[in-house]
Amino acid sequence: MAILRIEGGRRLGGTVEVDGNKNSALPLLAACLLTDEACVLHNMPRIGDVEVMARLLEDLGATVDGVGTRTVTVRSTTLGKDEPDRALVGRLRGSVLLMGPLLARRGRAALAPPGGDFPARRTISTHLEALRALGAHETKAAGHALEAPDGLKPASIFLEEASVTGTETALLAAAGTPGLTKLRHAATEPHVADLCQFLGNMGAEITGTGSPTITIEGRSRLRGAEYTLPGDYIEAGSWGVVAAVTGGEVEVRGTRAEDMEVIAATLRRMQVRCSFDANRFLVEPSTPVAARRITTGLWPAFPSDLVSLVTVLATQASGQTLLHDWMYELRLFALEQLSAMRADLFLCDPHRIIVTGPTKLRGRLLDSRDLRSGMALIAAALAADGESRIAPVETVERGYARLVENLKRLGALVERVDDRRRLK
């Protein structure tokens, strides 16, 4: 376990470039299991979650080349098993995305309970409902086990919630199922659209991409394909908040304007000076003010993945802000640690927190309990007086490529320490 030591109170500035969208990378890797031909993915994020997913594919029999680089090639010529490694599944919630391709390709999928952030509170009921609608039925086995010995069948599916990974699970299974499947109440996030486009490149006919109703003409045999991932807008927004809380100026490259518009709208409500174009997101020195109320929602509403970071920004904004994340119960709890940094917080319930600012934060020992709140605590430490220590930093590195390198590039005084004893 590594610790990130941060000396705060410095105004950061400079340029960073984001890798491809983490939330697109995992379903696209899973889609590579649907064909026995080679698939090539460009602009892949060099992060821990991609490494774990690659190891899961290899465990199933695929060959994966280029992990740790921006170009990854997957060949799933033969899949030797339908039960992914339990230990790896326990590290990655995105492992649930393997169920659809395994059912389509092998007629069976057995999955241990997926891990990741808040595994006990994030069910996969929507995913299972979609697979059952396509003809899979559950069997008696530990975890989640389904089979379709006669193959999946096309269907009309209504999702009870517009779950992103639930939608992706249905898309993956339907693409490998001959016939016409209609998916209603689908998620519309950009990474869902990326999966639709990649599956289209593989030979499935998909209409309605980006809308709540998607129609999939599946194929019994899909071909290999290439795809270039767009930049990660959540990572870009994170670096924008880092600039805003430190009073600095940061230019983020590799973004898409249509993705950044949602984030910029909320930052501008807080009077953060920001602009964006086809490949750039710029945050300039600002004096933030409270936004009164910020509520997360389904795309194109403000994304839940950034609510922790904007909570930190609210500690540096003049006035009172209510932040409401209705999607996840435990995400805001991790931010209670800000109180020990002298932030003025009131946690109303598991979904709502009131922040009054501005407050000069003080450095301390911090616990990165999940990916997004971990990055938020790093932002708080950068704005604080004195030294902070955040552990384990690997939690944040699951989703942020070259984290320490980028922090140093922006002028932060940080050190990654791999052994606790060296901190004494």
Active site residues: 117
Tokens of 190: 């950009």
Question: What burial letters (b/e) apply to 74-88, b meaning 16+ CB within 10 Å?
Answer: bbbeebeebbbbeeb
Q: Residue 366 and residue 343: Cα distance in Å, rounded?
A: 14
Give me the residues paired with residue 302 across strands.
Answer: 296
Q: Are 373 and 331 in contact (CB under 8 A)?
A: yes
Burial of 223: CB neighbours in 10 Å, binned 0-12, 13-18, 19+: middle
Instruction: Burial-class residue 125 by CB neighbours within 10 Å (0-12, 13-18, 19+).
Output: exposed
Query: Could you count the other beta carbons within 10 Å of the beta carbon of residue 392?
Result: 15
